[in-house]
Amino acid sequence: MTFNRLTHLEALESEAIHIMREVAAECRNPVLLFSGGKDSIVMLRLAEKAFLPGRIPFPLLHIDTEHNFPEVIKFRDKLANKLKVKLIVRSVQDSIDAGRIIEKPNQSRNTLQTTTLLDAIEEFGFDTCFGGARRDEEKARAKERIFSFRDEFGQWDPRNQRPELWDLYNTRVHPGEHMRVFPISNWTELDVWQYIHNEQLEVPALYYAHEREVIERNGSLLPVSHLVRPKPGELTQRITVRFRTVGDMSCTCPVISEAENANEIILETAMTRITERGATRMDDKTSDASMELRKKEGYF
């Protein structure tokens, strides 16, 4: 007798749905961190599938750097509206204006999100935050649990993580502490694109090949915008590019690509020789341990 087997993507989907339902069953006040990027779009689709025909039983939270690509913000609002999920937005700019964060000149706002995020968690009393982080993105993430405990200061202690055996998740926290939960921990960039392809999910257009004005700085391409102006001696050029991640416009770099749809991206990703973060995030290049340090302080 032979039995059907699940494909790797079906197995990953099943795992993610199981994790989301576990949070819905056991946690008091969860929220899904949503940026409008491809990973959070996949997360939202998984949440939809997990709870149909019911509604998604938690709101979305976006920590807005106000350095985002305008088309991503438009897309974010459209999707939240379509799925009838409440979207909470808290702004890094507000935290700066209130004196909660001191912004240094030329600093990426990706790191500044931590304070705004922790303030929002406290404001709404969230005990669980879903994140779309994947272990293949970065080596500190590779060691993080799926249910990742945060103390009352929002900090991650990599040396003292809760053991996580089988898929029996311990979701318990004391008041003031919270959990970060990563349902797509075991997905790779390729899996995400295959899922987008299979489920025919819409993503912001800047993920696909388009013409854009860019400059070359420190060996990377940077999109020209109101935040990035060519310095003396830097030449702007119009070329066909796409973004592999969408974050702070001032430090998110596109790659040269002709891929016009998910399928072409799958082919390109299957062949690419540069990791996602290395290619596209200038702030991850600064130190061998930069993500580990950021995570310890409470970053996503």
Residues 6+ apart with CB under 8 A from 64: 73, 89, 90, 91, 92, 93
Strand pairing category for 220-223 and 128-130: unpaired
Tell the smallest beta-carbon distance from residue 144 to other proteins (Å). 9
Return the number of the residue (38 or 45) whose C-beta is nearest other proteins.
45
Tell the smallest beta-carbon distance from residue 102 to other proteins (Å). 25
Quote the CA–CA distance of 14 and 186 in Å, as a whole number. 12
Q: Which stretch binds other proteins (CB under 8 A): 103-111, 123-131, 183-191, 227-235?
A: 183-191
Quote the CA–CA distance of 20 and 193 in Å, as a whole number. 20
Tell the smallest beta-carbon distance from residue 5 to other proteins (Å). 6
Return the number of the residue (155 or 236) whose C-beta is nearest other proteins.
155
Residue 22 as a binder of other proteins (CB under 8 A): the answer is: yes
Residue type, 234: E
Q: Which stretch binds other proteins (CB under 8 A): 98-106, 121-129, 222-230, 288-296?
A: 288-296
Q: What is the DSSP letter of 121?
A: H
Return the number of the residue (239 or 270) whose C-beta is nearest other proteins.
270
Residues 6+ apart with CB under 8 A from 173: 127, 149, 179
Of 38-67, binders to other proteins (CB under 8 A) are: 48-55
Q: What is the DSSP letter of 233?
A: T
Strand order in the sheet with 128-130: 87-91, 60-64, 30-33, 128-130, 178-181, 147-150
Of 106-135, binders to other proteins (CB under 8 A) are: 135
Quote the CA–CA distance of 240 and 243 in Å, as a whole number. 11
Q: Which stretch binds other proteins (CB under 8 A): 17-25, 69-77, 89-97, 110-118?
A: 17-25
- Footprint of other proteins (CB under 8 A): 1, 3-15, 17-18, 21-22, 24-25, 48-55, 135-136, 139-140, 142-143, 158-159, 161-168, 170, 172-174, 185-186, 188, 190-191, 194, 197, 263-264, 266-267, 270, 272-275, 278-279, 288-289, 292
